[in-house]
Chains A and B, each alone.
Chain A
Amino acid sequence: MQRLRETGASKAGRGCLVLFALLWTAFSVFWTWAAWRGGGGLSALFGVPFIAIGVALLVGAFWRTIAGVRIGRPKLSVSKDVLRLGEIFFARYHQSFRLPVDILESKVELVFRETAVYRRGSDTYTEVHEEALDFFESPTGHFDVGQTTQSDGNLMIPANAMHTFAGTNNKLQWFLRVTVNAQGWPDIKDEFELTVLAEGN
């Protein structure tokens, strides 16, 4: 079995979000403070929503870390991480819990994703379309501190699917995505990339 690593893209994305959120929040706080010092109470109030947005962005950027206080990072292993069309492979998912938590839904999905990046002037836009083509579910219920859960299943790359493609602006990618829905918390999603070769099984 081969242990999969979380995709670098999601870590890089969170890093960019942290940087942006820090800059946004810092500027908003500074502007609000300057307005309040200038005696403009109403002007200072105008800055409060911007500070709230910055805080929300920071929470979003650190969400996986915050959620990790309760739910540890998943461990995902596969029989092969370089696959062929039509191939069946085995995946094992292992999850630990650091605080008591009620898991409402937990699953491992095989996802095929199209990503298209385009530029309009100085702005860059990204469009994403994805399909979950196969999955297996993991145990749900109440888990106490230190408890772990494990599940596994066979997943199949469809024989008539498309191989991995990585252009500069356009990508076709395969992932295993772990989704954990804990009561009272937004869904936690972790992704692990696979390579599908331009070969049949």
Chain B
Amino acid sequence: MADVEFALNFLPPGTSSQVPVYLPGESISGSIQITPQDALKCRHLYTRLCWHTEGRGDTDKQVIAEQDLHQGELRAGVPFYSRFQFRLPSQPWSYSGHYVNIIWEVEVVIDLAMTRDPREGLRFILAPSARQ
């Protein structure tokens, strides 16, 4: 797999919680910095708003929204910057249970030909005020 350094952050920076919490329907935004060690010819650079399950059961996953940030070359050692913004849906809420967990994240994926796609995810919590 191509060697890529990712740096993902939510905006505004400096939230008090390690994992930021957002309300359903709220807008979520952040910044992306990608620095490949070698030059990459990426077919797409996707940022996705998605949730997936973790726990005992097989994984369920859904991509809620997707943005295609870049197509073309990423130069070796040169950071690529971009921003993302999504409107959060009303559900499903983040959940941590006995056998089932629902995890929300913003996922960045570099779509490369003939090799495994480098990816990085930035997790957050989606919950109404009563459950925070």
Q: Smallest CB–CB gap between A159 and chain B, Å?
A: 5
Does A165 contact B97, Cβ atoms closer than 8 Å?
no
List B contacts of A170 (CB < 8 A).
53, 55, 57-58, 60, 99-100
Tally the A-B contacts, defined by beta carbons under 8 Å: 71
Does B93 contact A162, Cβ atoms closer than 8 Å?
yes
- Give Cα distance in the complex from A167 to B130, angstroms: 24
Interface of A is mostly: strand
- Chain A: interface size category: 20 to 34
List A contacts of B90 (CB < 8 A).
198-199
- The answer to whether the Cβ of A129 comes within 8 Å of any Cβ in the partner chain is yes
The CB with the most chain A CB atoms within 10 A, among B60, B95, B100, B131, is that of: B100
- The answer to whether the Cβ of A52 comes within 8 Å of any Cβ in the partner chain is no
Closest residue to B96 on the A side, CB-wise? A162
Taking CB atoms and an 8 Å cut-off, the chain B residues in 68-118 that contact chain A are 90-93, 95, 97-100, 102
- Give Cα distance in the complex from A107 to B24, angstroms: 36
- The answer to whether the Cβ of A122 comes within 8 Å of any Cβ in the partner chain is no
- Give Cα distance in the complex from A39 to B99, angstroms: 52
Where the two chains meet, the residues of A that have a C-beta atom closer than 8 Å to any C-beta of B are 85-86, 114-119, 127-129, 159-160, 162-163, 165, 167-172, 198-200
Where the two chains meet, the residues of B that have a C-beta atom closer than 8 Å to any C-beta of A are 24, 53, 55-60, 90-93, 95, 97-100, 102, 128, 130-131
